[in-house]
Amino acid sequence: MAETMRNQSLGHFLPWVGSLCLGLVLALASSPGLAQAQTVAPQFQPSLVETVEQGYLAHRRGDYDQAIDIYTGIIRRRGLSVKERAVSYLLRGEAKRDKGELDEAVFDFTRALNQWPDYPQAIFFRGQVLARQGRLNEAFADLARAVELDPDRESYKTNLALLRKRMSVSGEVPEGSLGQVEIIPPPE
């Protein structure tokens, strides 16, 4: 019985875990300096992967403030690659989004995109938050761009179709070109 419940619980979280960590895995796998940095890191500082795991666990248990603090610490680390920093902003943005700090989440997803402009997951998450805020044209541009960058991701296409339907029901039509959304976050 306990094993069945455990498997059901894991099955519920697997899509979310995959979404949360996919960008991190891609960034860390392509970072040549990470393995070297782990072998020479001081004993008192956990490795980047261990720290990300701590942030993920805090986020998963609903301790968004702790997750945000952990990801902020990662962002402030020296020696991160551009993609590692972008992933860290994305993770912090997710924690802020789940905490209900939607404006701050948009800023963190934008900071991730300032580091890695073609990061489909950051574009997608920002688009989702913009849609929640009622900023439908900006959301449409982001979701369309995410689909353009990763056309095989079904969740991107589904969200874009749902937004298109929401906009048509409300009588809204995407304005102008679907270029990059221009959002300028305040300095940290």
Q: How many CB atoms lie within 10 A of CB 68?
A: 23
Domain with 133 in it: 118-179
pLDDT score recorded for residue 185: 81
Higher pLDDT, 14 or 67: 67
CB-side neighbour CA atoms (13 Å) of 181: 28
Query: Could you write out the DSSP letters of every residue in 132-172?
Result: HTT-HHHHHHHHHHHHHH-TT-HHHHHHHHHHHHHHHHTT-
Q: How many domains does the structure of the chain reveal?
A: 2
- 8 within some domain: no
Query: Model confidence over 139-162: pLDDT tens digits?
Result: 999 999 999 999 999 999 999 999
User: How confident is the model over 100-119, as a mean pLDDT?
Assistant: 97
pLDDT score recorded for residue 34: 41
Rounded to whole angstroms, the Cα distance separating 180 from 92 reads 22
Report the mean per-residue pLDDT for the chain. 81
- 39 within some domain: no
Rounded to whole angstroms, the Cα distance separating 144 from 151 reads 10
Q: How many CB atoms lie within 10 A of CB 54?
A: 17
Query: Could you write out the DSSP letters of every residue in 83-129?
Result: HHHHHHHHHHHHHHHHHT-HHHHHHHHHHHHHHSTT-HHHHHHHHHH
- 80 within some domain: yes
Query: Model confidence over 175-188: pLDDT tens digits?
Result: 644 566 778 787 88
User: How confident is the model over 117-139, as a mean pLDDT?
Assistant: 96
pLDDT score recorded for residue 43: 55
Written as six digits, the tokens of 32 are 């040549």
Place of tokens 């982001």: 142
Shared-domain flag, residues 83 and 50: yes
- 53 within some domain: yes
The number of residues in the chain equals: 188
**Is the pLDDT confidence value at 10 over 60?**
no
pLDDT score recorded for residue 180: 66
Written as six digits, the tokens of 157 are 């296409």
Higher pLDDT, 91 or 13: 91
Residue at 73: amino acid letter: G
At residue 14 the predicted structure's pLDDT band, cuts being 50, 70 and 90, is very low
pLDDT score recorded for residue 172: 80
Give the DSSP H or E segment for 185: none
- 6 within some domain: no
User: How confident is the model over 164-174, as a mean pLDDT?
Assistant: 85
Shared-domain flag, residues 136 and 91: no
E-strand ranges in 55-186 read: none
